[in-house]
Amino acid sequence: MTKEVSILSTNGQQVGQIALDDKVFGVEPNIHVMHMAVRRQLNNARQGSASAKTRAEVSGGGRKPWKQKGTGRARAGSTRSPLFEGGGVIFGPKPRDYAFQMPQKARRLALKSALSARFENTILVKDFSEINEPKTKLMAESLKSLKADGKVLIVADVKAAENGYLELASRNLPNVKVILPSNLNVKDLLEADSVVLTEAAVNEITERLSK
């Protein structure tokens, strides 16, 4: 099934209708799968380079600090024991890969769930051709006309001629993030207060997720 939704120009005027596929924009959000997708994205971005030296790797400590018996102190074989200052670390972090994978169907479901969950805060625009100069002021006025408040996520093909100045006009706005439709992800969708999709982006996303 599809539903007809108004599509706007960047000055907030209605310029037509667009059919949205309920299989992409109208599914019941699956919170568990969305949670897994965000965890996967954050984990895959982790560097995983934290490293602490064990007693075998710390330099020094080759000589026995005092004799085994007769001092009244506890026996010790090295000053690089974890018990001493400057010694090794017990069970410290070692470089590791935090990444994990999700099945392709689960990743698609997570994206569809996020798009459906954010649908009430989604604004559909024809394109950004009216922003014909790389000026922040034009972008700010467009967002005001579209009533896109708070943290704004714009999903558009910035390489297309009609969106030629979109990236330059928006990069000085700290609350605006522009991504390609191919880079659409659950984390950005859930973090945004307003989501702005171009008509071309909607078609590309629908084609990719309705398979």
- pLDDT tens for each residue of 120-159: 999 999 988 888 889 999 999 999 999 988 999 999 998 8
- pLDDT value for 74: 93
- Measure the CA–CA gap between 39 and 49, rounded to whole angstroms: 18
Q: How many CB atoms lie within 10 A of CB 8?
A: 18
6 has pLDDT over 90: no
- pLDDT value for 16: 87
Instruction: Kindly tell me the sign of the dihedral angle through the C-alpha atoms of 140, 145, 149, 153.
Output: negative
- Measure the CA–CA gap between 2 and 29, rounded to whole angstroms: 17
- Measure the CA–CA gap between 112 and 11, rounded to whole angstroms: 28
- pLDDT value for 47: 93
106 has pLDDT over 80: yes
> What element of type H or E holds 201?
helix 199-209
User: What would the pLDDT profile of 55-95 be if each residue is shown by its tens digit?
Assistant: 999 998 888 999 999 999 999 999 999 999 889 999 999 99
Compute φ and ψ for 14, nearest 5 degrees.
-75, 130
- pLDDT value for 115: 94
Those residues whose C-beta lies under 8 Å from the C-beta of residue 87, and which sit 6 or more positions away, are 55, 58, 61, 78, 79, 80, 81
User: What would the pLDDT profile of 157-211 be if each residue is shown by its tens digit?
Assistant: 988 888 888 999 999 999 999 999 999 999 999 999 999 999 999 999 999 988 7
Nearest to 151 by CA among 187, 182, 193: 193
Phi-psi region of 148 (alpha: psi -120 to 50; beta: other; left: phi over 0): beta
CA atoms within 13 A on the CB side of 75: 2
2 has pLDDT over 80: no
- pLDDT value for 15: 85
Residue 103 confidence class, pLDDT cut points 50, 70, 90: very high
Q: Which pTM value belongs to this model? A: 0.81
The span from the first CA to the last CA of the chain, in angstroms, equals: 15
- Measure the CA–CA gap between 114 and 24, rounded to whole angstroms: 10
Q: How many CB atoms lie within 10 A of CB 20?
A: 21
Sheet holding 176-179, edge to edge: 14-21, 2-8, 122-125, 194-198, 152-155, 176-179
For the chain, list the domains and their CATH numbers: 2-43+102-209 (3.40.1370.10), 47-97 (no CATH)
- pLDDT value for 132: 86
